Structures are given as C-alpha cells and as structure tokens.
Amino acid sequence: MKTCVIETEKICKSFVSDGEVNNVIKNLDMKLYQEDFTVIMGSSGSGKSTLLYLLSGMDKVTSGKVYLKEQEITGLKESAMADIRKDSIGFVFQNMNLIPDLTLLENVLSPSYQSKIKKEEKKKRAEMLIEKMELSAHKNKFPNQLSGGQKQRTAICRALMNQPEVLFADEPTGALNSNAGKGVLDTFTKLHEDGQSIVMVTHDLKAAVRGSRVIFLRDGRIDGELEQGSFRQKEEEARERMLYEFLKERNW
C-alpha cells in the first residue's frame, strides 16, 4: 500500500477577468503517492500549470481543500504557506526563474536560509548537489553566464536543497533543446530511483514516458490515468507506444 503525500478534495480554481469568470479547475479530487513519479498531461490551456500551483501551495484554491501529508494547507496564513514552500516543496519552472543577482552556488543555497543546519553543512549539501548535476565548474557564475540546461539543472539543485517531500516541475524541458532536455530527464529518473516523489507537468511524450503514473487533464477535470511502472531505458519504445495509445484515445 502506497502512502499518500498530497490529496485534494473538490478543488476549484476560477479567474475573473473583464467581469467574466473562467473556471479552470473544476471539483477535482486526486491523490499523489510517495515515491511516485506522477506526470500530468493535457492539451495547452487545460489547466495543468494552474493545478500544479494549487498542489504545491504556490497559489490559493477558490474552493476545496488540499492536504499535504494529512495536514490541510488551504487557508493557511501567508507566512505558514511560505514555510511549507520552503520546507516541503521543491519547484522547477519552465523558465528556470533563477535569481539574477545570485551566483549559481548562492541560488542553490537560497532556500536554506532559515534551516537549523550549520552553515558548513548547508554548503556541503549544496556542493554535493552541484557536483551531482555536473555544475561544479560554474558554481561562481551568474545565471546570465549559464546555458539553458545548466540553468535548469541549477534550478533542480535549488528545488532539492531542503530535501522536499515532493518535487514539482512545470514543463522543465520546455525551454531546452533535446540534448539538454534529455539530461534534465535523466536527472529526474535518477531522483525517482532514489525515492524522491515527483510531480511533473509536460506535453512532451519523451518526458512523459519517464513517469510511473500519467494523469490526463481535460478542461480542469481528470480524464483518465495510466500506471506504467518505473522507467527502464530498454523499455522506452514500448512505453512510448503504450502512452501514445492512451493519449490517442483521448484525442491528444
């Protein structure tokens, strides 16, 4: 039996613009499990990013509840939400969102500012992550001196710095060329193998096959789900075909 890390209860998200209400997420119930690599797919505008922000506590729901390890996080105060983002969540954006004034190393260190660990320990951990992502040579560079792939890997280091419960990623390969994209995906696969819970949004088939579970989103509702087990390199083509079938049934 898998443990549930995140659970939602009838969450809705609406935006109001020009007086018109746009219901993006509609009464959505879902469970995310520990050590799963969950992939959320869906056509553009189906609400994937919106959902990810709700799950990760970046944005507030319009109604409904979100639980993180059985603790309700909807309705928490702004500072408590900030703590959750800091301690339990790691987030990787499509456009990296590194802090331009900070060096690579500082960017990675930045989420650990309040943790009780000693300074040396923090630095050790950051350097270990940087080493793992093969970025050591660049650690004193600023983001505008890094390539896209390097930036995205830095962003992943930063997201992992506080050993989050769940690592979220919104189209992490979207802005990268295929080579750099593959590097980032390999990193995710490795993290998954090491037991990290991951939730990733993508509309890229190559990225989606890496997940152990695929959820398809349409019009703010879940429209099908595929369990495909952990990724193995030699099964890649077979998985791709299976996923393709799954998506075709849903007019991908």
Partner 1 sequence: MWFKKIRKKKIQSIFIVLILMVCSMLMTSSFVIITAGDTPYKELSGECRSPIVKIYPFQSNDPAIAEQIKENMEKLDMVEHVEVIPYHYMLERIQIDGKGSMEGYFFDLMPWNDKTYGSIRILEGSRELKEGQCLISAVLSNSEEIRLGDTLNMENGISYQVTGIYTDPYNMNLSFDSEIIVKENPRSEDLKYQVHVFAKEGSSGNEVIDAYREQNDGILEGRAITLEARIQNNQITERIIGGILLGISVVILLISGIMIRYMIKSTLASEKKTIAIYKMLGYKNGRIISIYLKFYGFLVVMGTVLGSCLSKMISDSFTKNTFRNMGVTSSSSIVSAGILCSGIIIAYAMICVYLLLRVVGNIRPMEVFRNEAAYSGKKQRNAGKVLGFSPIHMAMRMIFRDKKNTCMLVITCIMAAYCVNFAATAMGLLGTFEESNYYWLGFDKHDVSFSSTDLKTYEKTVEKLQKEEEVEKVIKTTTRVAVSVPWVKGMGDTILSVMVYDTYENLDMPVIQGRNPAHSDEIAMGSLMAEKMNKQVGDYVDIYLNGNQKVTLLLCGTYQSFYDMGKSCRLLGKTLEEKDVSFQYEEASVYLKEGIEPEEFLKDHEKEYESDGKLIDRAEKYANILDMITGPQMLAIRPFMIMAILLGALNIIAIVYLKNMDNRKTQSIYKAIGYSSGHLLKTNITYVFLIALFSLSITIPIFIVAFPKTMVLALSMMGFREYPVSYDITVVIISNLGTLAVYLLSVLFASKSLYDNPISELTSE
Chain positions contacting ligand ADP, by CB under 6 A = 15, 17, 22, 24, 42, 44-50
Residue 25, amino acid: I
Contact predicate 3/197, CB 8 Å: no
Nearest to 221 by CA among 1, 12, 2: 12
How far apart, in whole angstroms, are the C-alpha atoms of residue 162 and residue 155? Answer: 13
Residues 6 or more apart whose CB falls under 8 angstroms from that of 183 comprise 149, 153
Smallest distance, partner 1 to C-beta of residue 230, A: 28
Query: To the nearest whole angstrom, how small is the minimum distance from the Cβ of residue 205 to partner 1?
Result: 23
Comparison of 86 and 218: residue with beta carbon closer to ligand ADP: 218
Measured from the CB atom, the residue of 127 and 223 that comes closer to partner 1 is 127
Count other Cβ atoms within 10 Å, centred on residue 95. Answer: 13
Q: Judged by CB under 8 A, which stretch of 20-28, 65-73, 96-104, 216-224 contacts partner 1?
A: 96-104
Q: Which two tokens stand for residue 207?
A: 């990225």
- CB of 246 vs Mg ion, minimal distance in Å: 20
Is residue 113 within 8 A of residue 189, CB to CB? The reply is: no
What value does the CA radius of gyration of the chain take, rounded to a whole number of Å?
18
The answer to whether residue 89 forms part of the interface with partner 1 (CB under 8 A) is yes
DSSP state of 146: S
Compute the least distance from the CB of residue 12 to partner 1, in Å: 17
Q: Binding residue for Mg ion (CB under 5 A) from 8, 38, 46, 49?
A: 49
Kindly state the number of chain residues that form the binding site for partner 1, as judged by CB under 8 A: 43
Q: Is 174 in the site for partner 1 (CB under 8 A)?
A: no
Q: Supply the minimum distance, in Å, between the C-beta of residue 202 and ligand ADP.
A: 10
Residue 118: contacted member of partner 1, Mg ion, ligand ADP, none (CB under 5 to 8 Å, by partner type):
none
Taking a C-beta distance cutoff of 8 angstroms, is the pair 109, 161 a contact? yes
Query: Do 57 and 89 form a contact (C-beta atoms < 8 A)?
Result: yes
Q: Which region among 61-69, 155-163, 195-203, 232-240 touches partner 1 (by CB under 8 A)?
A: 155-163
Q: Burial-class residue 71 by CB neighbours within 10 Å (0-12, 13-18, 19+).
A: exposed
Task: Select 46 or 189, whichever has its Cβ closest to ligand ADP.
Answer: 46
- DSSP H helical segments within 194-235, as ranges? 205-208
Task: Find which of ligand ADP, partner 1, Mg ion, none residue 67 binds, CB within 5 to 8 Å per kind.
Answer: none
Site residues for partner 1 per CB under 8 A: 49, 53, 58-60, 78-79, 82-87, 89, 91, 93, 95, 97-103, 105-106, 109-113, 119, 123, 140-145, 148, 158-159, 162
